[in-house]
Amino acid sequence: MNPMSLAPFLAWIQATRIATTIGQSTLLTGFLSAIHLLGLTLLVGGALVSGLRMLGIILTDRPTSDVAPGPVRGMFAGLVISVGSGLLLFAPRASAAAENSFFQVKMLLLCAAVAFHFAVYRGASRRSDDAKLTGGVGLILWFGVAVAGCAFILLE
């Protein structure tokens, strides 16, 4: 989708009171960024623990179905926190972010990771059988989201 077709909507988002307030406050932006990183830490940390277990690298003495529920709950909490804070961080610079290639890759990977998680990963984490491919793909997707996010921030 061409970000230009969304230009009026993105401009409207940027003009909202909340976007203006966040954009004018370094303190608020910093606070939201910290919350965003906390959510990302929960998300990627949960993906790391459950993914490494699926790969058979850690906690091999316990079935995946026993290990995964805690990290998966952490991933869900992290996703909710990151999406909520991310939307607030996006608002003041919606137009510029939507045109940024790194941001576009991050959003594409995020959508792919969430779809994969709910369509494949959750089911595999509930079984005790071999789920190496699922664990590996999940890790690649979630770390891809994190790396694309870093690239967006650092190379914006």
For 67-75, what is the mean pLDDT?
Answer: 91
What pLDDT does residue 123 have? 80
What pLDDT does residue 53 have? 92
Q: What are the pLDDT digits (tens) for 14-37?
A: 999 999 999 999 999 999 999 999
Q: What are the pLDDT digits (tens) for 76-99?
A: 999 999 999 999 999 999 999 999
Q: What percent of the chain has pLDDT over 70?
A: 96
What pLDDT does residue 5 have? 84
**Confidence band for 68, pLDDT divided at 50, 70 and 90:** confident
What pLDDT does residue 131 have? 83
Q: Which of 113, 119, 126 is nearest to 47 (CA)?
A: 113
Structural domain including 51 reads 3-155
**Confidence band for 64, pLDDT divided at 50, 70 and 90:** confident
Q: How far lies 42's CA from each of 57, 76, 80, 134, 148, in Å?
A: 20, 8, 10, 19, 17
Total domain count, the chain: 1
What pLDDT does residue 90 have? 97
